[in-house]
C-alpha cells in the first residue's frame, strides 16, 4: 500500500473532534442516514441522491467504513441488519460466518480466531432483494476514498499504534496504515482493487478466485484452518426478527445468533414493570440487563427465552454482573422516501479483529471465533458463535425508527436506555440519544460523569465508577426512520457519528 505524508497547514486548528456535542434530529425528503463516520454518511447521501434505496445507501456507507475505520470493521468482518420493507414487513439478515470445517482450536487473535467473513455476502443478498442501483455504483464512494486517500484521523492512529505489536506479529508489518501519522494522506490501493472486483463480479470477487485464495493463505500462515472451501460454501441467513411489545410499540431485534434477544428480554421485562418511579428507571434497567445476560450462552433458544422471568429488587443492586468489556463495531441506519428503513452493524470484533492482514487485498480478518464460550456456545467446526451485533427496530404509531450502536455487550444497555427515554419517559429522540449513560461491565457500573443520578445509583449499592462524558464505552447511537411519512435521522455526539439528509 502506498502512503504519502502531507503536513497540515494549520495543525493547531485540527483538534481531535472525537466525541464533541451535540446532534439534532434531521428531516429529509428523499432519505436520511446516521452513520459511524461523516464519510459514510456522505456516501449514503450520494447514493440516495442518485436514486438508490435505503439498502443501497446502507451498503455504500458500510463499504466506506471498511476504508476509513479498519480498526472497527471491514471486508474481513461481519454484518447484521434489519430491513423494514415499504409494506411494513421486516427481515433480519445474518451476515456472519461459521468456524472452519477443519477447526481444531480457537483463539482470541491470530489465524485460530477467524471465522468466515460474512459482510460481503450479506451485501449481495440485501442488494439483490432491495437494491435499485448496481453493485459497482454502490461501492463507488468507498473505492474513490481508498484510491484518492483519506486523512489519518487521530482515533485510528491511536488504535493502530496500540495494536501495532499484534498486527506486526500476524503479518501486517508492511501495511501502510501503520506508518501513517495523524493528518497524513493514506491511500489503500489493494483495498480499492478488492472493492472494485466485488462491484464487478459480486460474490465471486470475494469468496472465490484470487481474493479467496489470498484470504485462506493468510489465515493458514498464521495457524488457522479457514479454507477456500469454507469461503465458497458460505451462506447468508435471512429470517424473521424477534419481536416484543414495548409500551405500545413493537420492538424488533435480530434472531440467533445475535445477542439481540437479550435486549428484547430486558425491554419486555422493563415494560411489564408498569409505573416505575422515575428515579428507579436506570436502576431497573441495569438490573434487568444483568439478569438477561445470564442467558447469553443460550441465545440459540431464540424467542423461547422471552418466557424466562427476569427478577429485580427496585431498592437494591443485585450485583449479578454479566456484561463484558469490548468496544468496537460501527453502525449505519438509513431511511428512504419509499418507507424502507434499515438498521445495521458491521464489525471485525476486537480492534483490527484477529490482526491477520490479507496483504494482496488490503483488509484484516475478524477474530469472531473468540466469541465462543462454553456449551451450548462452545466451539465446533461449521458453527457460528454467539454474536454481539444487535441492531434494533422500533415500530411506533408514527412510523419505524432504526437504532444501532457499537459497544459489544454495551449495545443492549445503550439501546435500552434510549428506548426507555422514548417510550417510558416520553423524551424526544435527540435528548434520549444525547443524555448521559451508564454501562454495566465486569461487575462495575461505569457512569458518564455528568449523569444526574450517579449518587443515587451508588446508594442503591451499585459499584459506580465515573467515566468521561463521551467515553467509548458509552456507545454511539445511529438512528434513522420514517416518521409521519418523512425520513429522519439523528446521530450521537459521541465518537465520529454523523447524520445527513437529502
- Tell me the three state secondary structure of residue 333: strand
Q: Helices then strands (H, E): number in the chain?
A: 15, 22
Mean pLDDT score of the chain: 93
- Among left, alpha and beta (phi > 0; psi -120 to 50; other), residue 64 is alpha
118, 78 Cβ separation under 8 angstroms: yes
Q: How do residues 172-219 score in pLDDT, each as one tens digit? A: 988 999 999 999 999 999 999 999 999 999 999 999 999 999 999 999
Please tell me the distance from the alpha carbon of residue 477 to that of residue 319, in angstroms, as a whole number: 27
Q: How do residues 457-478 score in pLDDT, each as one tens digit? A: 999 999 999 999 999 899 999 9
190 located within any domain: yes
Q: How do residues 74-105 score in pLDDT, each as one tens digit? A: 999 999 999 999 999 999 999 999 999 999 99
15 located within any domain: no
Can you give the residue range of the structural domain that contains 52? Answer: 22-502
Paired strand residues for 358:
363
pLDDT reported for residue 8: 32
Nearest Cα to Cα of residue 329 among 409, 256, 385, 392: 409
Q: How do residues 407-425 score in pLDDT, each as one tens digit? A: 888 899 999 999 999 999 9
Whether residue 10 has pLDDT greater than 50: no
117 located within any domain: yes
CATH number at residue 130: 3.60.20.40
Whether residue 11 has pLDDT greater than 60: no
- Tell me the three state secondary structure of residue 108: coil
Nearest Cα to Cα of residue 35 among 413, 502, 489: 489
Would you say the pTM of this structure is higher than 0.85? Answer: yes
Residue 419 grid coordinates: 428506548
- Tell me the three state secondary structure of residue 238: strand
User: Between helices 189-201 and 54-68, what is the axis angle to 10°?
Assistant: 160
Whether residue 29 has pLDDT greater than 50: yes
Please tell me the distance from the alpha carbon of residue 43 to that of residue 424, in angstroms, as a whole number: 35
Nearest Cα to Cα of residue 365 among 101, 107, 39: 107
320 located within any domain: yes
Mean pLDDT along residues 374-398: 94
- Tell me the three state secondary structure of residue 79: strand
Q: How do residues 283-339 score in pLDDT, each as one tens digit? A: 999 999 999 999 999 999 999 999 999 999 999 999 987 777 666 789 999 999 999
13 located within any domain: no
pLDDT reported for residue 407: 84
* DSSP letter, residue 19: T
89 located within any domain: yes
Mean pLDDT along residues 488-497: 94
pLDDT reported for residue 325: 63
Q: For 5-37, b where at least 16 C-beta lie within 10 A, e where not — what string?
A: eeeeeeeeeeeeeebeeebebbebeebbbbbbb
Q: How do residues 98-136 score in pLDDT, each as one tens digit? A: 999 999 999 999 999 999 999 999 999 999 999 999 999
Q: How do residues 348-366 score in pLDDT, each as one tens digit? A: 999 999 999 999 999 999 9
Rounded to 5°, angle at Cα 122 from 119 and 125: 160
Percent of the chain residues past pLDDT 90, beyond the cut:
88
Please tell me the distance from the alpha carbon of residue 158 to that of residue 155, in angstroms, as a whole number: 5
pLDDT higher for 47 or 10? 47
- Tell me the three state secondary structure of residue 402: strand
pLDDT reported for residue 55: 98
**Predicted confidence band of residue 229 (pLDDT cuts 50, 70, 90):** very high
Instruction: Annotate 475-489 with three-state secondary structure.
Output: CCCEEEEEECCEEEE
**Predicted confidence band of residue 442 (pLDDT cuts 50, 70, 90):** confident
Q: Are strands 464-467 and 444-448 parallel, antiparallel or unpaired?
A: parallel
**Predicted confidence band of residue 142 (pLDDT cuts 50, 70, 90):** very high
Please tell me the distance from the alpha carbon of residue 346 to that of residue 349, in angstroms, as a whole number: 9
* DSSP letter, residue 365: B
Please tell me the distance from the alpha carbon of residue 326 to that of residue 109, in angstroms, as a whole number: 14
Whether residue 3 has pLDDT greater than 50: no
74, 66 Cβ separation under 8 angstroms: yes
Paired strand residues for 501:
32
pLDDT reported for residue 174: 87
3 located within any domain: no
**Predicted confidence band of residue 431 (pLDDT cuts 50, 70, 90):** very high
**Total count of domains within the chain:** 1
Q: For 104-115, b where at least 16 C-beta lie within 10 A, e where not — what string?
A: eebbebbbbbbb
Q: What's the sign of the alpha-carbon dihedral 440, 441, 445, 450? A: negative
Mean pLDDT along residues 248-257: 95
451, 464 Cβ separation under 8 angstroms: no
Amino acid at each position: 500500500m502506498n502512503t504519502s505524508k502531507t503536513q497540515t497547514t494549520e495543525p493547531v486548528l485540527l483538534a481531535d473532534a472525537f466525541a464533541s456535542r451535540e446532534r439534532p434530529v434531521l428531516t429529509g425528503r428523499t432519505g436520511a442516514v446516521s452513520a459511524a463516520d461523516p464519510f459514510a454518511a456522505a456516501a449514503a447521501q450520494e447514493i440516495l441522491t442518485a436514486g438508490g434505496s435505503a439498502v443501497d445507501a446502507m451498503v455504500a456507507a458500510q463499504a466506506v467504513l471498511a476504508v476509513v475505520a479498519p480498526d472497527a470493521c471491514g471486508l474481513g468482518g461481519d454484518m447484521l441488519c434489519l430491513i423494514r420493507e415499504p409494506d411494513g414487513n421486516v427481515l433480519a439478515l445474518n451476515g456472519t460466518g461459521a468456524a472452519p470445517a477443519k477447526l481444531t482450536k480457537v483463539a482470541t487473535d491470530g489465524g485460530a480466531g477467524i471465522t468466515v467473513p460474512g459482510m460481503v455476502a450479506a451485501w449481495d443478498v440485501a442488494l439483490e432483494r432491495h437494491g435499485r442501483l448496481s453493485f459497482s455504483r454502490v461501492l463507488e464512494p468507498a473505492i474513490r476514498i481508498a484510491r484518492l486517500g483519506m486523512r489519518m484521523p487521530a482515533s485510528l492512529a491511536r488504535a493502530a499504534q496500540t495494536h501495532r505489536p499484534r498486527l506486526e506479529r500476524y503479518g501486517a508489518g508492511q501495511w501502510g496504515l501503520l506508518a501513517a501519522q495523524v493528518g497524513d494522506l493514506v491511500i489503500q490501493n489493494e483495498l480499492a482493487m478488492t472493492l472494485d472486483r466485488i462491484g464487478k463480479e459480486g460474490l465471486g470477487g470475494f469468496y472465490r478466485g484470487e481474493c479467496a485464495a489470498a484470504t485462506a493463505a493468510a489465515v493458514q500462515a498464521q495457524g488457522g484452518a479457514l479454507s477456500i472451501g469454507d469461503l465458497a460454501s458460505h451462506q447468508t441467513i435471512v429470517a424473521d426478527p424477534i419481536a416484543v411489545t414495548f409500551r405500545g410499540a413493537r420492538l424488533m431485534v435480530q434472531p440467533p445468533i445475535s445477542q439481540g434477544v437479550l435486549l428484547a428480554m430486558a425491554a419486555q421485562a422493563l415494560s411489564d414493570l408498569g409505573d416505575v418511579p422515575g428515579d428507579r428507571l436506570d436502576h431497573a434497567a441495569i438490573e434487568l440487563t444483568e439478569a438477561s445476560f445470564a442467558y447469553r450462552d443460550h441465545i440459540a433458544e431464540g424467542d423461547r427465552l422471552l418466557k424466562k422471568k427476569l427478577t429485580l429488587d427496585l431498592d437494591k443492586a443485585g450485583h449479578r454482573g454479566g456484561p463484558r468489556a469490548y468496544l468496537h463495531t460501527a453502525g449505519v441506519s438509513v431511511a428512504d422516501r419509499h418507507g424502507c428503513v434499515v438498521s445495521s452493524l458491521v464489525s471485525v470484533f476486537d480492534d483490527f479483529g484477529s490482526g491477520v492482514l490479507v496483504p494482496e487485498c488490503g483488509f484484516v480478518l475478524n477474530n469472531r471465533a473468540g466469541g465462543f464460550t462454553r456449551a451450548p456456545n462452545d466451539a465446533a467446526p461449521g458453527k457460528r458463535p454467539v454474536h454481539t451485533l444487535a441492531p434494533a427496530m422500533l415500530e411506533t404509531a408514527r412510523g419505524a425508527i432504526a437504532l444501532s450502536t457499537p459497544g459489544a455487550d454495551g449495545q443492549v444497555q445503550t439501546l435500552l436506555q434510549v428506548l426507555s427515554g422514548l417510550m417510558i419517559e416520553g423524551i424526544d429522540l435527540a435528548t434520549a440519544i444525547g443524555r448521559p449513560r451508564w454501562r454495566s461491565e465486569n461487575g462495575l457500573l461505569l457512569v458518564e460523569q455528568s449523569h444526574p443520578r450517579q449518587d443515587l445509583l451508588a446508594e442503591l449499592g451499585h459499584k459506580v465508577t465515573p467515566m468521561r462524558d463521551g467515553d467509548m464505552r458509552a456507545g454511539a447511537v445511529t438512528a434513522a426512520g420514517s416518521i409521519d411519512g418523512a425520513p429522519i435521522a439523528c446521530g450521537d455526539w459521541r465518537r465520529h457519528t454523523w447524520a445527513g439528509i437529502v
